[in-house]
Structures are given as C-alpha cells and as structure tokens.
Amino acid sequence: MLTSILPFLKDYWAFVLSLLILLFLLRNKYFNGLHKYPGPALAAYTNWWRFFDALNRRPEKTHIELHKQHGDIVRLGPNVLSFADPKTIKEIYGLNKGFTKSEFYPVQSAISPRGKPLPSLFSTIDEKRHAQYRRCVNSVFSMTSLIHYEPLVDSTTRVFLSQTEKLFSATGESCNFARWLQYYAFDVIGEITWGRRVGFLEGNEDVGGIVEFVADFLAYVGPVGQMPILDSFLNKNVLKLKSLEWGLRKEKLTTATKFAVDRASERVDEMQTIKEKGLEAVPTRSGSIDFLSKFTQAQHDHPEFMTDDLVLTSCLSMIFAGSETTAISLSAIFYYLIKNPRVYAKLMTELDNAVESGAIIDRSLVTWAESQKLPYLDAVIQEAFRMHPAPGLIMERTVPDHGAEILGEMIPGGTIVGCNAWVLHRRAEIFGDDADVFRPERWIEASPGKLKEMKATMFQFGAGARTCIGKNVSLLEIYKVVPAILGTFEIVPEQEGKEWTTHNAWFVRQLDFRVKFRRRSDQGKKKAA
C-alpha cells in the first residue's frame, strides 16, 4: 500500500499539499457553522487575519468599523465572534455562566527559572484555581483596605509634583506626558506593592528598562495572542523550556523580578512573623500596609494555597496588570481636558471652589474622601474611561462545551467570544447620538435609569468573575492625583492642535503627547475660581 502511495506523493506532492491546504481553509470557513456570521472575508479562513490586524496596532478602530458595517455579531477568526450589544456583557461574563478565559491569556504568563509557565491571577485559565486564588487575595483589594494604600499614593504624588516642578515647570522644558505618567503609575504601584518606589520619578528614567520591558511584552502578547500556538514556537518553545528545566540555560532575572526578590529578602524576618502570627504581630509604618504584607497575611490565612512563589508572582503581576493600564487612563484624562478648554475651565472652577469653601484642605494632596465630593471630576474621569478604555482587544472567553445562547443565537461549545470596550463605549443608544464626542455632562444630565444603563455598559475594567481586582486601587490613584496635578500646574500642549497617536498592544498606549507645565500662582487660582 505504502509503496504505491509514495511514488504518487513524489510526483504530485504540490497538488496534494494544495488540496490539504484548501480542505483546511474550507474546514475553517464552515467550522461549527459560524459561516453565517459576517466579517472580513479572510478572517473566516485563517487567524492570520486577526494576527495582522493586531500587528497593525489599530484593532480597536477596526472592530468599531466592522461592527458599524456588519452589526452586533462579527466573525473575527475561523472560531472567533465579537459582540457589540451591551446585553452580551451579562450573557458572556456573568457569574456562573461557565465561560472560561481563552488561550489568549496563557500567552501572558511568565516563565519560572525552571522553565514552567507561571499562571498569574490575570493569566490563569483554570477557573477553579482562579476562584480559590481570588478568595485568598480578595480582601487585599477591598474598599476598606484602601486607607492602607492612601499614604503610599500620597508619598509618590509628592515626589511627582516636586519633580514636575523641578524638571519641567521651572525650566520650561516640554514633557513627554504619556511617559511621565507611566513613571508615576509604575512608581506608585511599586510603592503600594513593596512600600518602596522603584525610582522612575526621582531618576526621570526607565530604571532597568522595566517600562520598556512591559511595553515589549505587551507588544508581543497583542498579535501572538491572536494565534496562541505561535507562543509555543516563540517565547515558550520546547527547547527553551527544556533547557531551563534541565539547568542547561539560566534565564536572566528581569529588573522587575530582581527588584521584587530584593524587597522580599530585605524584609524576610518581618514576612516570617506575618506568616506565623499574622499582620497584627508587626507594627504598621505610618498607617500604611503594602501588598507584600497583605499577600503574606493571605499566606498565613491560606498556607495550603499561598506559597512563597505565589506571593512573589502576585506582587510582580501587580506591576504588569496595574501600571500600564493606570498610566493610559491618566493620559486619556489629561489629553481630553487639554483638547477641550471649556471642560478644563469648568473642572478648575469646581476644584478652586472646593478649595475656597474648605471642601478640599490641601489642593496638592487631595484626599480620597475629598475627591468623592467633586461631581464634575467624576464625570470627566468616567468620560475619559469611556472615550479611551485601556484594553483594546476583545476580552476573549471560550463557550462551555454544551454551547450557549448569546443574543438569541445558539453558539457552539469551544467558540471564542467576547466584547471590545471600544465598541461598547460608542453605542449611541446608550450614550447618545454624540457618543463619539468627549462630553462629561452626559454623566450629570442622565436620569437615574439611564445612568444605571450607562454604568452597566462601561467595560474598561472587564466584568464578572474576572473583572479587574485592582479597580479600587486604580480609582484611588486616579481620583487623588488628577486634582493634585491640576491644582498645582496649568498644563498646556507643547504644540497647539497636535493630535496624539495610539498604539494598540492589547492595551491602547498613547504616543506623541507632549505638554508644558506652568505653576499656578495663588492669584491664578483665585481668578480661575
């Protein structure tokens, strides 16, 4: 049999190969009956379409356009559907629906020195393990824990303001604001995690290339995550993993990992006490308790689950999950303020009035409680989240084996489905016909029913069991630092009318956002009021 097939293959291999490829492409197109859903023609045949769309760094724009063109369901890949109707948030991400994170997420796992992938709270697709992990660390992120982090945020904010004065305001130098806010966000999360800043702001530099490292990592994750199989040939290829496992090769510790290991070693006695006796056994430093102490407390409470390695991974993954996302959201707030002088002036009036009336005691160090009494600030922040949500791809979930009904359609098990925040946030029937315009007033004018609907459609933090666990921490940072910066400096664009450019590497980072700072005089503050 084999002897008769081999000569045939030798003569006709090109034909056989073409036939196999054709069959594979047709199988992709008609796979699971998804061919009835519209989308780019190529996307139905191969995931290379979405790989290149992500590589082009503008998929959020492509997704908005595709949904405008094709409606609420768009096929983005042979096995991938994107949904645009806000109703799908509950249907896909709702609790106990049985959907799991897709293979996009393990691409985001780090590798241990022994060559094993290290699934973090963010990247794990094992939902049972995730639930257990989340139960162990939930209290670290609760609203009541925020008071422990506020002094840590304040300390970084003080450095941010004094360095902004020294480097930019006093010298008249222009500032790469998107980068400067990245330094702030990385330093503040370092301080919340280990009680110590990494030193980006003090040095005005990317210490050990951490910011660049995270940017490169996300730039890899965006496109490769569209075809996760590629990861096993690239970052997690067998040769690399095995040579690490067998000790033939040593992975150099990244600066972030080294920083994490050093901080933990400096406090090894303190951590040992917490592990054995709990947090009450160690004195707090000026009322603050950092993540490292709290994760170690979780280890005290759940020794069977929280290992030393998991405490280290948890600390490190906060840097990855919580810095770039916060920096992007801060940039968006300032960008839209500068682009909309009317809104900027109105917000300054609110802030200056609050200082005058005593609702804010110190304009350069606004407390969390004070920030919660400023409705226009709240509207501006919500509107910036709406216009520029940090995540710029669909948050992929795999449909459970038995299939699921989404928007009245029976979607087969194993299909990858999801929503993109950029698409949901531009829905005219939810946010109004001017949904493409930055207009914070929509958050103030809305009736209670409408407001509830608008809030339920906001997707910048995801939704359901895998929603952002750091949401409260990031809101604490944002609601405090925005009024502090605005109260201290007037911010003007370096070049009037210049638009920024954006770069979608899973999270949509801003480029070319340069500004100048002028210290606000007391007179100026009174005039604006």
> What is the contact surface with ligand HEM in residues (CB under 6 A)?
121-122, 134, 317-318, 321-322, 325-326, 329, 390-391, 395, 460-462, 466, 468-470, 473-474
Q: Which is nearer to ligand HEM, 201 or 476 (CB)?
A: 476
Q: Which is nearer to ligand HEM, 35 or 134 (CB)?
A: 134
Q: Which residue is nearest to ligand HEM (CB)?
A: 470
How far apart CA 155 and CA 341 sit, in angstroms, is 30
Question: Smallest distance, Å, CB 169 to ligand HEM?
Answer: 26
Question: Smallest distance, Å, CB 242 to ligand HEM?
Answer: 29
Question: Smallest distance, Å, CB 156 to ligand HEM?
Answer: 13
Name every residue whose Cβ is closer than 8 Å to that of residue 49 and which is 6 or more positions away in sequence. Answer: 40, 42, 43, 76, 77
Question: Smallest distance, Å, CB 63 to ligand HEM?
Answer: 15
Question: Smallest distance, Å, CB 266 to ligand HEM?
Answer: 21
Contact 100, 125 (CB under 8 A): yes
Name every residue whose Cβ is closer than 8 Å to that of residue 394 and which is 6 or more positions away in sequence. Answer: 63, 76, 80, 82, 418, 419, 420
Q: Which is nearer to ligand HEM, 188 or 354 (CB)?
A: 188
Contact 113, 244 (CB under 8 A): yes
Contact 504, 54 (CB under 8 A): yes
Backbone angles phi, psi at 487, to 5 degrees: -70, -25
Q: Is 419 annotated as a binding residue?
A: no
Place of tokens 């033939």: 248
Place of tokens 């090894």: 268
Q: Which is nearer to ligand HEM, 326 or 382 (CB)?
A: 326
Helix (H) or strand (E) holding 515: strand 514-519
Q: Which is nearer to ligand HEM, 267 or 397 (CB)?
A: 397
Contact 154, 365 (CB under 8 A): yes
Q: Is 452 helix (H, G, I), strand (E, B) or coil?
A: helix
Question: Smallest distance, Å, CB 123 to ligand HEM?
Answer: 8
Question: Smallest distance, Å, CB 87 to ligand HEM?
Answer: 18
Q: Which is nearer to ligand HEM, 190 or 391 (CB)?
A: 391
Backbone angles phi, psi at 173, to 5 degrees: -65, 150
Place of tokens 């702001």: 201
Question: Smallest distance, Å, CB 6 to ligand HEM?
Answer: 49
Q: Which is nearer to ligand HEM, 28 or 109 (CB)?
A: 109
Q: Which is nearer to ligand HEM, 327 or 454 (CB)?
A: 327
Q: Which two tokens stand for residue 117?
A: 């992938």
Q: Which two tokens stand for residue 84?
A: 């645009």
Question: Smallest distance, Å, CB 460 to ligand HEM?
Answer: 5
Contact 515, 334 (CB under 8 A): yes
Q: Which is nearer to ligand HEM, 43 or 181 (CB)?
A: 181
**CA-based radius of gyration for the chain:** 25
Contact 85, 67 (CB under 8 A): no
CA distances from 68 to 119, 426, 427, 434 (A): 36, 10, 10, 15
How far apart CA 136 and CA 121 sit, in angstroms, is 11
Residue set of the binding site for heme: 468
Residue set of the binding site: 468
